[in-house]
Amino acid sequence: MSDFEIIFSILKAVIFEDEKSSDMINAYAGRSDNLPLITKTVYGVLENKIYIDYMIRKLSDIRLKKIHKNVLLILEIGIYNIHFLETKDYATVDKLVDLTKAKNKRSTGFVNAILRAFIRDEKEISTIYEKDDIKSLSIRYSFPEEITRYIYDFYGMDYTKAYLRDATRVKDLSIRVNNLKTSKKNLEELLIKDGFEIEAGKISQYSFIVKNPGGLARSKHFKDGLFTIQQEASMKAIEVLNPKDNSKILDLCAAPGTKTTYLAEYTKNTGKIIANDISKSKNKLILENIQRLGLENISLTNYDASIFVDDFENKFDYCLVDAPCSGLGVVGRKPEIRYNRTKETIVRLAGLQRKILENAIKYIKKDGYLVYSTCTLGPLENRDNFNYLLEKENLELVPIEGQDFIEYKSFEAMTDGFFISKFRKIND
């Protein structure tokens, strides 16, 4: 397969079949010698799709919805290459026309005309003419207008601009030291010896920032379970929960299990941890990580967290609800999120989160602790649900570092956007 064929196949799976970009890139990794270009183009198209489509509308006499989806995808790949990668040679156009012949032969002339017209008049076509500030931002940063307006209405313009700019920033990768198998100092020495550039984490004491992470997950030290790839804000949720050794802990929405494994390491393989998630398909990945990290105190269950489980009632000293959410805090790592989220999605998820929280409260013992966290932003899933918990007569707020909650801004904390709150159950 040519590089353009691989890019096309990955993007088609992500945009039309709801696959994850990272999974698809990994699936095709062995089919090209130019994986960096493929990765850059896939993420680039996803991160700029709304803006690219805006330019295609200017060029095409055919309405966007009437263009065959394969043809539109080829045009998006072409416009991205010409405008963002500055490959303005007609050889690129010819390659994409050849790809069109294989995917939709009758549209070869159309694709050729659109891409050549863009090269001739790129400056004018790429200029955004919108008087509405939110609509203009939505196009410029390729974020759905409805979600852009949702963020703006709550946080204001400065925050919205900073968030949208940051959404395409290449994020630093952080790792968590497995203290059951190594020390922070020893791991640092091993990784530096292997050529990795390491910095101390800024949020978690057990984290490192890896500035050149290529090949990290293939390293011997990863396979030996000396560390786990995890963003620092995610680690913080476990450190805020702060479970004691020999306690009973429930991770109610556990997949893919990254926080679960930190719970086991944090409690030194003592006590009992239940990792629950509705998705049985994720069990294999969780079990692989448990084995890799040398963990012994985790059991898996697959209940629907929104439905009450009798066997869990009043059983746990600690409960983590890292709830299913819209993921607006991790768009920089998962760019496809921006195209499958609507305000309606957010409202639905906020309601689901409350059902899960209602059950979680019943699962913890008196004097037990509940942490509610999400990797998103906006009032409906975060502060509104926090206030919902705050009004519960059987819960008491536990401040975190002198604050009612932590809300990490990705563009300030240089980690995922994340919300963390903590409560203690004071009576049944």
Alpha carbon of residue 253 to chain centroid: 16
Rounded Cα gap, residues 114 and 390, in angstroms: 56
Residues contacting residue 128 through CB under 8 Å, at least 6 positions apart: 51, 54, 136, 139, 140
For residue 43, the tally of other CB atoms under 10 A from its CB is 20
Residue 324 token pair: 């299913």
For residue 307, the tally of other CB atoms under 10 A from its CB is 10
Look at residues 328, 16, 411 and name the one whose alpha carbon lies nearest to residue 148.
328
Helix/strand/coil percentages in the chain, nearest 5: 55, 15, 30
Tell me if residue 375 is catalytic: yes
DSSP one-letter string for 146-164 = HHHHHHHHHH-HHHHHHHH
Candidates 253, 319, 325, 375; catalytic one: 375
Alpha carbon of residue 242 to chain centroid: 24
Backbone angles phi, psi at 419, to 5 degrees: -125, 130
Match 């100092």 to its residue by tokens: 185
Rounded Cα gap, residues 71 and 59, in angstroms: 14
Give buried/exposed letters for 80-101 (b at 16+ CB in 10 A, else e).
bbbbbeeeeeeebbebbbebbe
DSSP 3-state assignment of 382?
Answer: coil
Q: For residue 256, is the peptide bond before it cis, meaning its omega torsion is within 30 degrees of 0?
A: yes
| Catalytic residue set | 375
